[in-house]
Structure 1
Amino acid sequence: MDVRIAIFTDTYSPEINGVAKTLQRLTGYLERNQIEFKVFAPDGKTSVPAVGQIERFASLPFLFYPECRIALPNPSHIKQSLEQFKPTLIHVATPLNLGLYGLHYGKKHHIPMVASYHTHFDDYLHYYHIPFLQKWLWKYMIWFHRSFERIYVPSESTRDKLSNHSFHEDLEIWGRGIDHTYYTPIKKTDEIRQKYQISQSKILLYVGRIAPEKEVDIAIRTFHSLPRHIKDDTHLLIVGDGPQLKLWSGHQNEQMTFTGFLEGEQLANVYASSDLFLFPSSTETFGNVVLEAMASGLPVIGANAGGVQHLIDHGKTGYLCKTRDVKDFTKHTAMLLDDHSRRNQFAKAARQFALTKSWDEIFAQLLISYYEVIKRNVKLHSA
């Protein structure tokens, strides 16, 4: 089958976030399997030249979520590029400007279209004190997605949430994988302790955006609420950047370190050198960092909400806690920090779970789904 895929996104490598990483891995898979593709994406914080199949456009940061960029596309340039490329499928991964253009072009030229839903923007509105926009946002999102033939969602909870809003009739789970040779316990190193001057025997780790919707305050309050004999022997390591970094890093002390943004080997080494992962965010559609931690051999204490609840096997690979319940988070965090044997047992189970999440299998299934949509469209227009 002749397959050429045009992908429209508001974030792409070298930006570092779950969506950008996932799409980069997808295009890598397509390239290895000799499937033609073209990506239309904004420039990031630093200008990146268009290379090969990647078309870049000037952009501005999205108001309350800077990882998403509002592109300033050149419609005539995109039109010319698409006319030359002749896509047989359009995959839209953003409801912003570039996504609107992809939607318009696909409808006008009768090209089969799919979309992927990545972010619960409606949940974010509460954290940025503009909940009154929620009704308008849902109306827009439902209107935007109604013309697509299939919508990909990263988890069961996301599918259920969208179904409750009568979002679309064809919602399919497109999960996420992990490179378990990159995120692995064998990368444990004492250099992390030396670099951040950690003298305590245990490291409690948080990795993610330092932003209101990630509920970093719950991680910090949980740490401070630990029983004295556990807290005195534990160091809280917080990895990430974001709008609240300056606010929270002011609380840094000899037992709590803010590393700022880390990536690559540095990040993999931090995961492997820690003892327990604490991730209280309840707004995740999936939770990529949770899978990274598990692949690195860390049990996870997470919120019993969003995509995270489908990754943690409560009582086997970690614990699920009531959303924003510091007492519950403290109780379960203390249980694992204070029980070396149980922590090791959970760590092994977490690693084993991560080993079952193969990117190649996930992308192979996505490709089958692409073929189904294209075939269905061909039959419809040939009838």
Structure 2
Amino acid sequence: MGDEVMVVTTHEGVPQEFYGAKLVGSRSFPCPWYNKVPLSLALSPRIISEVSNFKPDIIHASSPGIMVFGALLIAKLLCVPIVMSYHTHVPIYIPRYTFSWLVKPMWMVIQFLHRAADLTLVPSVAIGRELEAARVTAANKIRIWNKGVDSESFHPRFRSHEMRLRLSNGEPEKPLIIHVGRLGVEKSLDLCKKIMDRLPEVRIAFIGDGPYRQELEDMFTGMPVVFTGMLQGEELSQAYASGDVFLMPSESETLGLVVLESMSSGVPVVAARAGGIPDIIPEEQQGKTGFLFNPGDVEDCLSKLIPLLYNQEMRESMGKAAREEMEKYDWRAATCKIRNEQYNAAIWFWKKKRAQVLGPIEWLWSRIFPSPDVKYG
């Protein structure tokens, strides 16, 4: 018998099932500073009842929003181990969207949550070290969540002349940079403007949406830039595969899933040396599967971008090497590791903590109310 999975999501009106997993939608409201992100505590009697009836062996809170509090409370109510994954580096976003004095309280909230969890999964060594330095939780309770990419959905075969026409605004012969992701101020996308000022013959396409889109559109007024909004399914696969170079200027990227998807599509990546990206393109693979540049350094970025944009042979060779590297990042292998190793580790930590708490109580109870001696024969 296979594993049973239930997913509680912040979106209402979801189908009852998705790839065999039971889906439960929760009422949500928009984040005050980031309207594109729905928030939900997922603590309605209906959700608690659904989770309780499902009888989970473990709960995995994968939400950077307030749902993590609901997941923690349900786990404690049901006496079930809980794993939390940390893949949105919230303290970095706070000064850009709210008030910098909130950074310290946010670290305190992160500490509270992850100390209450049985295991914390992080997307990169760098983020793990940062959480360790901030004493968010015990070092042995921080584990790397192996990255996975759908190498069938993101594949060079999706390259499309029609999509390239669309992304290049009708000039498919011009060098084309693509960026896929949420359009937020924290993504350092103003660096793309500095690049475009230096390379007027280059075209750039932004695939995605977010609160910074209008400012970006204003910033690029009169320039050969295309904003597609959100793309999904085959359109998204085509968009990745139809560019020449994927540019990732973000300094706060913890997971870098879009970098994996671009490389899987056979498109070389030029990315800021920050967050989880150096785990994907380590130093020994510089110039083979992709390039890293010093965050915010326009000259360094241009020195990596220009050879790729104007040397087709180099671009194709690097794109092919990137694709071959990504074929190792299979979703199945990543899922097996999390299920067989990391979930089991969380259950072990939970049992150990439970024994430490309940052991003295049980000992005291046995002294106050000793079991009567039973004599046989």
TM-score by length of 1: 0.83
Structure 1 window deviating more from structure 2 (58-67 vs 365-374): it is 58-67
Alignment partner of 1:48 is 2:20: no
Q: Residues 180, 65 of structure 1: CA spacing in aligned structure 2 closer, same or farther, 3 A cutoff?
A: same
Q: Give SS of 1:146's match.
A: helix
Please give the alpha-carbon distance, in whole angstroms, between the structure 2 residues aligned to 1:129 and 1:72: 21
Deviations 1:158-203 (A, max 9, x none): 1111111111111000122111121111111211233331244321
Report the equivalent of 1:274.
Answer: 243
Q: How many Å apart are 1:378 and its aligned residue?
A: 4.6
Cα contact 1:153–1:159 (8 A) shared by 2: yes
Give percent identity, aligned residues only.
30
Structure 1 window deviating more from structure 2 (249-258 vs 277-286): it is 249-258
Please give the alpha-carbon distance, in whole angstroms, between the structure 1 residues aligned to 2:180 and 2:349: 42
Report the equivalent of 1:192.
Answer: 163
Q: Give SS of 2:183's match.
A: coil
Deviations 1:99-154 (A, max 9, x none): 21221232244321211112001111232252221001001110111111110111
Alignment partner of 1:164 is 2:154: no
Pairing partner for 1:338 from 267, 285, 310: 310
Deviations 1:254-284 (A, max 9, x none): 6322222212111111211111111100101
Letter in 2 for 1:190: H
Please give the alpha-carbon distance, in whole angstroms, between the structure 2 residues aligned to 1:127 and 1:97: 19
Cα contact 1:114–1:148 (8 A) shared by 2: yes
Report the equivalent of 1:11.
Answer: none
Alignment partner of 1:351 is 2:313: no
Q: How many Å apart are 1:87 and its aligned residue?
A: 1.7
Cα contact 1:95–1:141 (8 A) shared by 2: no
Alignment partner of 1:257 is 2:229: no
Please give the alpha-carbon distance, in whole angstroms, between the structure 2 residues aligned to 1:132 and 1:274: 41
Pairing partner for 2:197 from 218, 221, 224: 224
Q: How many Å apart are 1:300 and its aligned residue?
A: 0.7
Alignment partner of 1:177 is 2:142: no
Root-mean-square deviation (Å): 2.1
Please give the alpha-carbon distance, in whole angstroms, between the structure 2 residues aligned to 1:68 and 1:352: 34
Structure 2: gaps (5+ residues): 360-377
Alignment partner of 1:290 is 2:290: no
Q: Give SS of 2:80's match.
A: coil
Alignment partner of 1:325 is 2:325: no
Q: Residues 158, 187 of structure 1: CA spacing in aligned structure 2 closer, same or farther, 3 A cutoff?
A: same
Aligned residues: 343
Q: Residues 210, 376 of structure 1: CA spacing in aligned structure 2 closer, same or farther, 3 A cutoff?
A: closer
Please give the alpha-carbon distance, in whole angstroms, between the structure 2 residues aligned to 1:242 and 1:209: 5
Q: How many Å apart are 1:83 and its aligned residue?
A: 2.8
Report the equivalent of 2:175.
Answer: 202
Q: Give SS of 2:239's match.
A: helix
Deviations 1:274-331 (A, max 9, x none): 1111110010111111111101111111000001122123221221111111222122
Q: Give SS of 2:276's match.
A: helix
Please give the alpha-carbon distance, in whole angstroms, between the structure 2 residues aligned to 1:249 and 1:133: 30
Letter in 2 for 1:372: A
TM-score by length of 2: 0.85
Q: How many Å apart are 1:96 and its aligned residue?
A: 4.1
Q: Residues 212, 370 of structure 1: CA spacing in aligned structure 2 closer, same or farther, 3 A cutoff?
A: same
Deviations 1:220-279 (A, max 9, x none): 2112223xxxx42x2212211111212222325463222222121111112111111111
Q: Give SS of 1:36's match.
A: coil
Cα contact 1:106–1:113 (8 A) shared by 2: yes
Cα contact 2:64–2:88 (8 A) shared by 1: no
Q: Residues 36, 255 of structure 1: CA spacing in aligned structure 2 closer, same or farther, 3 A cutoff?
A: same
Q: Residues 56, 334 of structure 1: CA spacing in aligned structure 2 closer, same or farther, 3 A cutoff?
A: same
